[in-house]
């Protein structure tokens, strides 16, 4: 069989994840310090793991409702109302999914007809463009700038809107830049979405992870936006639960029920063990989450200072657990910089262009890594940068 012509075009065309390609170089190398993978270094808090164990002990090993356990949906609604200030009906406006990843996929498949355009700010999470293509949509990135601290410029958004634009994807705080959008910016974006009748997929997976006095505003909470916004959130980052694979989508009933149609025949439901653990996370997980956040805050401050001190210009990001230093002053592409950093300094970080063309010239360093390792990585990077300066 000729597989090169047999695999579906929209899948065959998808490039390999820049992050994965890079990390294949690192796998199995114990001599390398990784600031690479965007995953908490903390083990899931014990009370949440215990809830998962208890769920199994009680023999809860079945499917759940396609929407997810009603008891979990009720907890989600309360949490979202307190945290984001938006109310949803737990019976038909909340869908529990296998991570935010599945929620993104379902939303795009539920919304897009072939050729519909989806806008998103870039640099962005690596899955956005492929997810749009796999749903037969057209992915349209809008470059953001360091001078705007990587927030989306409403004027650039308006310029990118065409009669085919159907969806805007937002992600604040942002992977890979840690950007947060000021409320005034979100308000201007909201006005444009209303004017041009766009649906917003708002990926707020890092919303708890914001530092100092940075506040989080969900675009869904702004006037006129609840009816056109799907709020995506999950447990992976704030509660250190990546392996539980649990997320959720809250939004208008017609969209949630269209997503449900796809979900019921693809995933059926999210794992019951994870759903029961998630109830514990929402009920009693906040103190542990705040402790992890404080640790991230200290690591962020240290890493940003060290990067600036060694001559790599780096803004202090307001959220998530990434910093995005500018490495463009050396005559190297960000891929070349990252490769040499890996080979010569034994530090792994992701080249900015893995997150889209506008990430070129930058490097993503994840600080969800033990403080001691961050310090060692900074020492090695400093020696590497000194060496580059002398070349
Ligand atoms: N959205 C963003 C912005 C992410 O950075 C990630 C993971 O890195 C995800 C979604 C995927 O999250 P989940 O583990 O809930 O599928």
Please report the sign of the dihedral spanned by the C-alpha atoms of residue 278, residue 206, residue 261, residue 9: negative
Counting from 1 in the atom list of ligand 1, the atom nearest the Cα of 242 is 14
Nearest-CA residue for atom 2 of ligand 1: 125
Query: Are 185 and 229 in the same domain?
Result: yes
Expressed in angstroms and rounded, the spacing between residue 22 Cα and the centre of ligand 1 is: 18
How far apart CA 330 and CA 346 sit, in angstroms, is 19
Look at residue 77 in the predicted model and tell me its pLDDT: 98
Residue 91 lies inside a defined structural domain of this protein: yes
Which range scores top for mean pLDDT: 22-26, 211-215, 331-335, 381-385? 381-385
- Say which DSSP state 326 is in: B
Model pLDDT for residues 9-26, shown as the tens digit of each residue: 888 888 877 677 667 777
Separation of first and last alpha carbons in the chain = 51
Model pLDDT for residues 91-107, shown as the tens digit of each residue: 999 999 999 999 999 99
- Residue where one domain finishes, among candidates 284, 301, 335: 284
**Poorest-confidence range of 28-42, 170-184, 261-275, 359-373?**
28-42
Query: Are 215 and 105 in the same domain?
Result: yes
- For tokens 């910093």, the residue is 323
The mean of the pLDDT values for the chain is 95
Confidence of residue 27 (pLDDT cuts 50, 70, 90): confident
CB of 347 closer than 8 Å to CB of 310: no
Look at residue 13 in the predicted model and tell me its pLDDT: 86
Orientation of helix 371-390 relative to helix 286-309, angle to 10°: 20
Per-residue exposure over 176-214, b if at least 16 CB sit within 10 Å of its own CB, e if not: bbbbbbbeebbbbbbbebeeeebbbbbbbbbbbbbbeee
Please report the sign of the dihedral spanned by the C-alpha atoms of residue 304, residue 99, residue 79, residue 75: negative
Query: Are 70 and 18 in the same domain?
Result: no
Look at residue 24 in the predicted model and tell me its pLDDT: 75
Task: Find the CATH number of the domain harbouring 246.
Answer: 3.40.640.10
CA dist 320 → 52, 76, 167, 231, 254 (Å): 26, 21, 24, 17, 31
Query: Are 268 and 336 in the same domain?
Result: no
Expressed in angstroms and rounded, the spacing between residue 364 Cα and the centre of ligand 1 is: 15
| Bigger pLDDT: 22 vs 235 | 235
Model pLDDT for residues 47-71, shown as the tens digit of each residue: 999 999 999 999 999 999 999 999 9
| Bigger pLDDT: 27 vs 236 | 236
Question: Cβ(137) to ligand 1 under 6 A?
Answer: no
Look at residue 28 in the predicted model and tell me its pLDDT: 75
CA dist 176 → 105, 227, 352, 367 (Å): 20, 28, 8, 12
Expressed in angstroms and rounded, the spacing between residue 201 Cα and the centre of ligand 1 is: 13
Query: Are 251 and 273 in the same domain?
Result: yes
Q: Helical H runs in the chain?
A: 3-6, 9-12, 18-24, 46-57, 70-84, 99-111, 128-134, 154-160, 183-195, 253-266, 272-284, 286-309, 334-340, 371-390
Look at residue 87 in the predicted model and tell me its pLDDT: 98
Look at residue 23 in the predicted model and tell me its pLDDT: 72
Question: Cβ(174) to ligand 1 under 6 A?
Answer: no
For the chain, what is the domain count? 2
Look at residue 163 in the predicted model and tell me its pLDDT: 97
Look at residue 373 in the predicted model and tell me its pLDDT: 95
Q: Helical H runs in 241-370?
A: 253-266, 272-284, 286-309, 334-340
Q: How many CB atoms lie within 10 A of CB 53?
A: 12
Nearest-CA residue for atom 7 of ligand 1: 38
Look at residue 58 in the predicted model and tell me its pLDDT: 98
- Residue where one domain finishes, among candidates 284, 311, 337: 284
Look at residue 115 in the predicted model and tell me its pLDDT: 95
Residue 51 lies inside a defined structural domain of this protein: no
Task: Find the CATH number of the domain harbouring 329.
Answer: 3.90.1150.10
Query: Are 264 and 348 in the same domain?
Result: no
Question: Cβ(99) to ligand 1 under 6 A?
Answer: yes
The range of the structural domain enclosing residue 177 comes to: 61-284
Q: Please state, for a pLDDT cut of 70, what percent of the chain lies above it.
A: 99
Query: Are 143 and 228 in the same domain?
Result: yes
Look at residue 191 in the predicted model and tell me its pLDDT: 98
Confidence of residue 148 (pLDDT cuts 50, 70, 90): very high
- For tokens 């949509």, the residue is 137
Expressed in angstroms and rounded, the spacing between residue 320 Cα and the centre of ligand 1 is: 11
How far apart CA 5 and CA 114 sit, in angstroms, is 21
Residue 190 lies inside a defined structural domain of this protein: yes
Q: Is the pLDDT of residue 225 over 80?
A: yes
Look at residue 14 in the predicted model and tell me its pLDDT: 85
Look at residue 26 in the predicted model and tell me its pLDDT: 76
Query: Are 361 and 326 in the same domain?
Result: yes
How far apart CA 353 and CA 363 sit, in angstroms, is 8
Confidence of residue 227 (pLDDT cuts 50, 70, 90): very high
Identify which of 221, 158, 142 has the alpha carbon closest to the alpha carbon of residue 193: 158
**Tokens in use for 379?**
């020492």
Report the C-alpha dihedral over residues 139, 367, 321, 256, rounded to 10 degrees.
60
Question: Cβ(98) to ligand 1 under 6 A?
Answer: no
Expressed in angstroms and rounded, the spacing between residue 261 Cα and the centre of ligand 1 is: 22
- Residue where one domain finishes, among candidates 261, 284, 307: 284
Look at residue 53 in the predicted model and tell me its pLDDT: 98
Q: How many CB atoms lie within 10 A of CB 114?
A: 9
Expressed in angstroms and rounded, the spacing between residue 387 Cα and the centre of ligand 1 is: 36
């Amino acid at each position: 069989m000729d597989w090169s012509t047999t695999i579906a075009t929209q899948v065959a065309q998808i490039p390999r994840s820049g992050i994965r390609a890079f990390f294949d170089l690192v796998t199995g190398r114990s001599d390398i310090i990784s600031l690479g993978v965007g995953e908490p270094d903390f083990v899931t808090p014990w009370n949440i793991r215990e809830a998962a164990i208890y769920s199994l002990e009680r023999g809860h090993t079945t499917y759940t409702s396609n929407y997810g356990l009603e008891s979990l949906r009720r907890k989600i609604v309360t949490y979202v109302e307190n945290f984001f200030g938006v109310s949803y009906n737990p019976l038909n406006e909340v869908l529990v999914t296998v991570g935010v990843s599945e929620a993104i996929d379902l939303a795009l498949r539920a919304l897009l007809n072939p050729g519909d355009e989806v806008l998103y700010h870039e640099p962005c999470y690596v899955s956005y463009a492929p997810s749009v293509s796999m749903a037969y949509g057209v992915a349209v990135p809008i470059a953001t700038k360091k001078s705007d601290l990587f927030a989306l410029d409403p004027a650039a958004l308006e310029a990118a809107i065409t009669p085919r634009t159907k969806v805007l994807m937002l992600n604040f705080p942002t992977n890979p830049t840690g950007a947060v959008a000021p409320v005034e910016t979100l308000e201007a974006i909201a006005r444009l979405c209303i004017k041009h009748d766009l649906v917003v997929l708002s990926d707020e997976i890092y919303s708890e992870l914001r530092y100092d006095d940075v506040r989080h505003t969900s675009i869904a909470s702004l006037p006129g936006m609840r009816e056109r916004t799907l709020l995506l959130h999950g447990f992976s980052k704030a509660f250190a639960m990546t392996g539980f694979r649990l997320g959720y989508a809250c939004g208008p009933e017609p969209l949630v029920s269209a997503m449900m149609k796809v979900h019921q025949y693809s995933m059926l439901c999210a794992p019951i063990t994870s759903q029961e653990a998630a109830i514990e996370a929402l009920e009693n997980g906040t103190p542990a989450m705040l402790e992890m956040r404080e640790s991230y805050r200290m690591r962020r401050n240290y890493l940003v200072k060290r990067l600036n001190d060694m001559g790599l210009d780096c803004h202090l990001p307001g959220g998530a657990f990434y910093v995005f230093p500018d490495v463009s002053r050396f005559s190297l592409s960000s891929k070349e910089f990252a490769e040499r950093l890996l080979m010569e300094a034994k530090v792994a970080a992701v080249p900015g262009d893995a997150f889209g063309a506008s990430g070129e010239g930058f490097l993503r360093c994840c600080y969800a890594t033990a403080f001691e390792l961050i310090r060692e990585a900074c020492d090695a990077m400093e020696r590497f940068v000194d060496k580059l300066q002398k070349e």
